[in-house]
Copies of this chain bind each other. A is one copy, B any other.
Amino acid sequence: MKVYIIGTGLIGGSFALDIQQEYPEAVIYGVDLNAQHIKEALECGVIHEEASFEDLQNADVVFLTIPVDVALSVLPKVLDIIQDNALVIDVGSTKQRICEVVKEHPKRRNFLAAHPIAGTEFSGPKAALRGLYKQKTNIICEVEKTAFKLQEKALDIFSKIGMRIRYMDAVSHDKHIAYVSHLSHISSFMLGKTVIDKEKNERDIFDMAGSGFESTVRLAKSSPAMWTPIFEQNKENIVETLDEYIGNLKQFKKLMEEHKFDQVFEEMQQTNHISTILKGIK
Protein backbone atom coordinates (compact mmCIF):
# COMPACT_ATOMS: atom_id res chain seq x y z
CA MET A 1 0.00 0.00 0.00
CA LYS A 2 1.39 3.37 -1.05
CA VAL A 3 0.28 6.07 1.34
CA TYR A 4 0.90 9.75 0.59
CA ILE A 5 0.76 12.27 3.41
CA ILE A 6 0.28 15.83 2.14
CA GLY A 7 1.40 17.97 5.07
CA THR A 8 3.82 16.14 7.36
CA GLY A 9 2.85 17.83 10.64
CA LEU A 10 1.37 16.56 13.89
CA ILE A 11 -1.84 15.19 12.34
CA GLY A 12 -0.40 13.73 9.12
CA GLY A 13 2.71 12.47 10.89
CA SER A 14 0.69 10.69 13.57
CA PHE A 15 -1.37 8.90 10.90
CA ALA A 16 1.90 7.92 9.20
CA LEU A 17 3.30 6.40 12.41
CA ASP A 18 0.16 4.39 13.16
CA ILE A 19 -0.14 3.13 9.57
CA GLN A 20 3.50 1.98 9.67
CA GLN A 21 2.64 0.02 12.80
CA GLU A 22 -0.56 -1.57 11.48
CA TYR A 23 0.46 -2.08 7.82
CA PRO A 24 4.11 -3.16 7.93
CA GLU A 25 4.21 -3.42 4.13
CA ALA A 26 2.97 0.16 3.60
CA VAL A 27 5.35 2.72 2.13
CA ILE A 28 4.76 6.23 3.43
CA TYR A 29 5.54 9.17 1.15
CA GLY A 30 5.63 12.75 2.38
CA VAL A 31 4.56 15.71 0.24
CA ASP A 32 5.29 19.08 1.81
CA LEU A 33 6.32 22.49 0.44
CA ASN A 34 8.24 23.02 3.69
CA ALA A 35 11.65 21.41 3.09
CA GLN A 36 12.48 21.55 6.78
CA HIS A 37 9.37 19.51 7.61
CA ILE A 38 10.31 16.87 5.03
CA LYS A 39 13.82 16.70 6.51
CA GLU A 40 12.48 16.31 10.04
CA ALA A 41 9.79 13.81 8.98
CA LEU A 42 12.48 11.64 7.37
CA GLU A 43 14.74 11.96 10.42
CA CYS A 44 11.98 11.01 12.86
CA GLY A 45 10.97 8.04 10.69
CA VAL A 46 7.53 9.57 10.15
CA ILE A 47 7.82 9.08 6.36
CA HIS A 48 9.93 6.70 4.33
CA GLU A 49 10.44 8.91 1.27
CA GLU A 50 9.87 12.39 -0.01
CA ALA A 51 7.51 12.66 -2.99
CA SER A 52 6.34 15.32 -5.41
CA PHE A 53 2.76 16.28 -6.15
CA GLU A 54 2.96 14.47 -9.52
CA ASP A 55 3.82 11.21 -7.73
CA LEU A 56 0.27 11.16 -6.32
CA GLN A 57 -0.76 9.28 -9.47
CA ASN A 58 0.88 6.24 -7.82
CA ALA A 59 -1.04 6.56 -4.57
CA ASP A 60 -3.38 4.00 -3.03
CA VAL A 61 -4.31 6.32 -0.18
CA VAL A 62 -3.76 10.07 0.21
CA PHE A 63 -4.11 11.92 3.51
CA LEU A 64 -4.67 15.64 3.14
CA THR A 65 -3.44 17.09 6.44
CA ILE A 66 -2.88 20.77 5.70
CA PRO A 67 -4.55 24.00 6.90
CA VAL A 68 -8.20 24.12 5.83
CA ASP A 69 -7.82 27.13 3.53
CA VAL A 70 -5.03 25.49 1.53
CA ALA A 71 -7.01 22.25 1.43
CA LEU A 72 -9.81 23.98 -0.51
CA SER A 73 -7.49 24.61 -3.47
CA VAL A 74 -5.33 21.49 -3.16
CA LEU A 75 -8.06 18.82 -2.84
CA PRO A 76 -9.50 19.29 -6.38
CA LYS A 77 -5.97 19.07 -7.81
CA VAL A 78 -5.32 15.88 -5.86
CA LEU A 79 -8.53 14.36 -7.20
CA ASP A 80 -7.51 15.42 -10.74
CA ILE A 81 -4.21 13.53 -10.55
CA ILE A 82 -5.02 10.28 -8.69
CA GLN A 83 -5.93 6.93 -10.22
CA ASP A 84 -9.54 5.73 -10.28
CA ASN A 85 -9.16 3.37 -7.32
CA ALA A 86 -7.29 5.74 -5.00
CA LEU A 87 -8.77 6.98 -1.73
CA VAL A 88 -8.30 10.61 -0.63
CA ILE A 89 -9.05 11.49 3.00
CA ASP A 90 -9.12 15.03 4.28
CA VAL A 91 -9.03 15.57 8.04
CA GLY A 92 -9.67 19.29 8.51
CA SER A 93 -11.60 20.77 11.42
CA THR A 94 -14.28 22.29 9.13
CA LYS A 95 -16.26 20.17 6.69
CA GLN A 96 -18.88 22.27 4.93
CA ARG A 97 -16.64 24.24 2.56
CA ILE A 98 -14.40 21.31 1.61
CA CYS A 99 -17.43 19.17 0.77
CA GLU A 100 -18.88 22.00 -1.32
CA VAL A 101 -15.70 22.58 -3.27
CA VAL A 102 -15.59 19.02 -4.66
CA LYS A 103 -19.37 18.48 -4.86
CA GLU A 104 -19.32 18.33 -8.66
CA HIS A 105 -15.86 16.87 -9.08
CA PRO A 106 -15.84 13.78 -11.36
CA LYS A 107 -13.79 11.95 -8.72
CA ARG A 108 -15.99 12.96 -5.74
CA ARG A 109 -16.45 9.26 -4.97
CA ASN A 110 -12.72 8.89 -4.35
CA PHE A 111 -12.94 11.41 -1.51
CA LEU A 112 -13.81 10.81 2.14
CA ALA A 113 -14.40 13.84 4.41
CA ALA A 114 -13.25 13.08 7.95
CA HIS A 115 -12.49 14.91 11.17
CA PRO A 116 -10.47 12.97 13.70
CA ILE A 117 -11.01 14.64 17.10
CA ALA A 118 -7.43 14.36 18.23
CA GLY A 119 -4.37 16.49 18.48
CA THR A 120 -2.18 18.35 20.89
CA GLU A 121 -1.26 22.01 21.19
CA PHE A 122 2.02 21.29 19.37
CA SER A 123 2.74 21.16 15.65
CA GLY A 124 5.24 19.93 13.06
CA PRO A 125 6.62 16.42 12.31
CA LYS A 126 8.41 16.21 15.67
CA ALA A 127 5.05 16.56 17.41
CA ALA A 128 3.73 13.38 15.70
CA LEU A 129 2.71 10.70 18.21
CA ARG A 130 2.14 6.98 17.77
CA GLY A 131 -1.27 6.06 19.15
CA LEU A 132 -2.63 9.62 19.02
CA TYR A 133 -5.87 8.36 17.47
CA LYS A 134 -6.50 5.41 19.77
CA GLN A 135 -10.05 5.51 21.18
CA LYS A 136 -10.60 8.93 19.63
CA THR A 137 -13.72 9.90 17.72
CA ASN A 138 -13.53 10.28 13.95
CA ILE A 139 -16.43 12.13 12.38
CA ILE A 140 -17.14 11.17 8.79
CA CYS A 141 -19.32 13.50 6.72
CA GLU A 142 -21.43 12.64 3.67
CA VAL A 143 -20.21 9.04 3.74
CA GLU A 144 -22.79 8.11 1.09
CA LYS A 145 -20.90 10.21 -1.47
CA THR A 146 -17.78 8.02 -1.17
CA ALA A 147 -17.47 4.84 -3.23
CA PHE A 148 -18.40 1.81 -1.12
CA LYS A 149 -15.08 0.00 -1.64
CA LEU A 150 -13.17 3.12 -0.62
CA GLN A 151 -15.35 3.58 2.48
CA GLU A 152 -14.33 0.04 3.40
CA LYS A 153 -10.66 0.79 2.87
CA ALA A 154 -10.88 3.93 5.02
CA LEU A 155 -12.80 2.17 7.80
CA ASP A 156 -10.24 -0.62 7.80
CA ILE A 157 -7.48 1.94 8.45
CA PHE A 158 -9.45 3.85 11.11
CA SER A 159 -10.49 0.66 12.83
CA LYS A 160 -6.93 -0.73 12.92
CA ILE A 161 -5.63 2.45 14.53
CA GLY A 162 -8.38 2.27 17.11
CA MET A 163 -10.77 5.09 16.22
CA ARG A 164 -14.51 5.28 16.97
CA ILE A 165 -16.57 6.37 13.97
CA ARG A 166 -19.49 8.80 13.99
CA TYR A 167 -21.44 9.87 10.89
CA MET A 168 -22.79 13.38 10.43
CA ASP A 169 -23.74 15.84 7.72
CA ALA A 170 -21.20 18.58 7.09
CA VAL A 171 -23.47 21.47 8.12
CA SER A 172 -24.28 19.89 11.50
CA HIS A 173 -20.62 19.02 12.00
CA ASP A 174 -19.51 22.62 11.60
CA LYS A 175 -22.29 23.94 13.84
CA HIS A 176 -21.61 21.58 16.75
CA ILE A 177 -17.82 21.57 16.49
CA ALA A 178 -17.91 25.36 16.95
CA TYR A 179 -19.24 24.70 20.47
CA VAL A 180 -17.16 21.73 21.54
CA SER A 181 -13.86 22.71 19.97
CA HIS A 182 -13.51 26.08 18.26
CA LEU A 183 -14.97 28.10 21.16
CA SER A 184 -12.56 26.40 23.62
CA HIS A 185 -9.63 27.61 21.57
CA ILE A 186 -10.82 31.21 21.51
CA SER A 187 -11.68 31.23 25.22
CA SER A 188 -8.19 29.92 25.92
CA PHE A 189 -6.39 32.41 23.63
CA MET A 190 -8.31 35.34 25.11
CA LEU A 191 -7.70 34.15 28.67
CA GLY A 192 -3.97 33.98 27.91
CA LYS A 193 -4.10 37.45 26.33
CA THR A 194 -5.97 38.96 29.31
CA VAL A 195 -3.46 37.67 31.83
CA ILE A 196 -0.36 38.45 29.75
CA ASP A 197 -1.59 42.02 29.07
CA LYS A 198 -2.16 42.60 32.77
CA GLU A 199 0.94 40.97 34.10
CA LYS A 200 3.45 41.75 31.35
CA ASN A 201 5.60 43.85 33.66
CA GLU A 202 5.37 41.42 36.53
CA ARG A 203 6.61 38.13 35.22
CA ASP A 204 7.09 36.75 38.73
CA ILE A 205 3.32 36.64 38.96
CA PHE A 206 3.27 33.50 36.84
CA ASP A 207 4.86 31.73 39.78
CA MET A 208 1.39 32.04 41.29
CA ALA A 209 -0.24 30.17 38.43
CA GLY A 210 -1.14 26.56 39.08
CA SER A 211 -2.36 23.59 37.12
CA GLY A 212 -5.84 25.12 36.78
CA PHE A 213 -4.52 28.10 34.85
CA GLU A 214 -2.25 25.83 32.82
CA SER A 215 -5.22 23.67 31.88
CA THR A 216 -7.44 26.55 30.75
CA VAL A 217 -4.73 28.29 28.68
CA ARG A 218 -3.13 25.17 27.21
CA LEU A 219 -4.87 25.64 23.86
CA ALA A 220 -3.40 29.17 23.57
CA LYS A 221 -0.19 27.45 22.51
CA SER A 222 -1.93 26.22 19.33
CA SER A 223 -0.76 27.16 15.85
CA PRO A 224 -2.29 30.42 14.52
CA ALA A 225 -1.50 29.26 10.95
CA MET A 226 -3.73 26.23 11.45
CA TRP A 227 -6.50 27.94 13.44
CA THR A 228 -6.99 31.23 11.57
CA PRO A 229 -8.42 29.54 8.44
CA ILE A 230 -10.61 27.29 10.62
CA PHE A 231 -12.09 30.36 12.31
CA GLU A 232 -12.54 32.00 8.91
CA GLN A 233 -14.34 29.01 7.37
CA ASN A 234 -16.58 28.56 10.39
CA LYS A 235 -17.10 32.25 11.06
CA GLU A 236 -20.90 32.38 11.39
CA ASN A 237 -21.14 29.42 13.76
CA ILE A 238 -18.26 30.66 15.90
CA VAL A 239 -19.61 34.20 16.16
CA GLU A 240 -22.85 32.66 17.46
CA THR A 241 -20.98 30.67 20.14
CA LEU A 242 -19.02 33.78 21.13
CA ASP A 243 -22.25 35.77 21.52
CA GLU A 244 -23.61 33.13 23.88
CA TYR A 245 -20.35 32.75 25.81
CA ILE A 246 -19.94 36.52 26.24
CA GLY A 247 -23.60 36.76 27.30
CA ASN A 248 -23.07 34.11 29.99
CA LEU A 249 -19.93 35.83 31.28
CA LYS A 250 -21.75 39.18 31.47
CA GLN A 251 -24.62 37.57 33.34
CA PHE A 252 -22.19 35.99 35.82
CA LYS A 253 -20.44 39.35 36.31
CA LYS A 254 -23.81 41.04 36.88
CA LEU A 255 -24.73 38.49 39.55
CA MET A 256 -21.42 39.22 41.27
CA GLU A 257 -21.84 42.99 41.01
CA GLU A 258 -25.35 42.73 42.47
CA HIS A 259 -23.92 40.52 45.22
CA LYS A 260 -26.31 37.65 44.34
CA PHE A 261 -23.94 34.93 45.44
CA ASP A 262 -26.72 32.41 45.99
CA GLN A 263 -27.31 32.59 42.24
CA VAL A 264 -23.57 32.45 41.55
CA PHE A 265 -23.60 29.18 43.50
CA GLU A 266 -26.57 27.91 41.47
CA GLU A 267 -24.87 28.73 38.17
CA MET A 268 -21.83 26.72 39.14
CA GLN A 269 -23.78 23.83 40.58
CA GLN A 270 -25.85 23.51 37.41
CA THR A 271 -22.66 23.30 35.37
CA ASN A 272 -20.99 20.76 37.67
CA HIS A 273 -22.60 17.86 35.84
CA ILE A 274 -20.12 18.53 33.05
CA SER A 275 -18.14 15.87 34.93
CA THR A 276 -20.73 13.24 33.95
CA ILE A 277 -20.73 14.48 30.39
CA LEU A 278 -16.97 14.42 30.14
CA LYS A 279 -16.69 10.82 31.22
CA GLY A 280 -15.34 8.94 28.30
CA ILE A 281 -13.44 11.86 26.81
CA LYS A 282 -9.71 11.38 26.93
Contacts and interface: CB of A to CB of B under 8 A. Distances in A.
Interface in A169-223: 173, 176-177, 179-181, 183-199, 202-222
Contacts of A180: 195, 199, 205-206, 208-210, 213
Contacts of A231: 256, 261, 264
A271 interface: yes
A118 B194 contact: no
Contacts of A213: 180-181, 184, 281
Q: Top 4 A-B pairs ranked by shortest CB distance?
A: A224-B268, A117-B210, A180-B209, A184-B216
Tell which of A117, A177, A179 has the most Cβ of chain B within 10 Å: A179
Interface stretch (A49-57, A78-86, A238-246): A238-246
Interface in A146-187: 164, 166, 173, 176-177, 179-181, 183-187
25 contacts: A119-B210, A119-B211, A121-B275, A136-B210, A179-B195, A180-B195, A183-B191, A183-B195, A184-B216, A185-B212, A187-B216, A188-B216, A189-B267, A192-B274, A206-B278, A212-B218, A214-B281, A216-B216, A217-B278, A225-B265, A228-B265, A229-B261, A231-B261, A235-B257, A249-B249
Contacts of A273: 196
A269 interface: yes
Given A194-B244, A221-B274, A245-B194, A281 B210 contact: yes
Given A206-B281, A215-B218, A265-B228, A246 B244 contact: no
Give the bracket for the number of chain A residues in contact with chain B.
Answer: 35 or more
B193 A179 contact: no
Contacts of A274: 192, 196, 217, 220-221
B193 A270 contact: yes
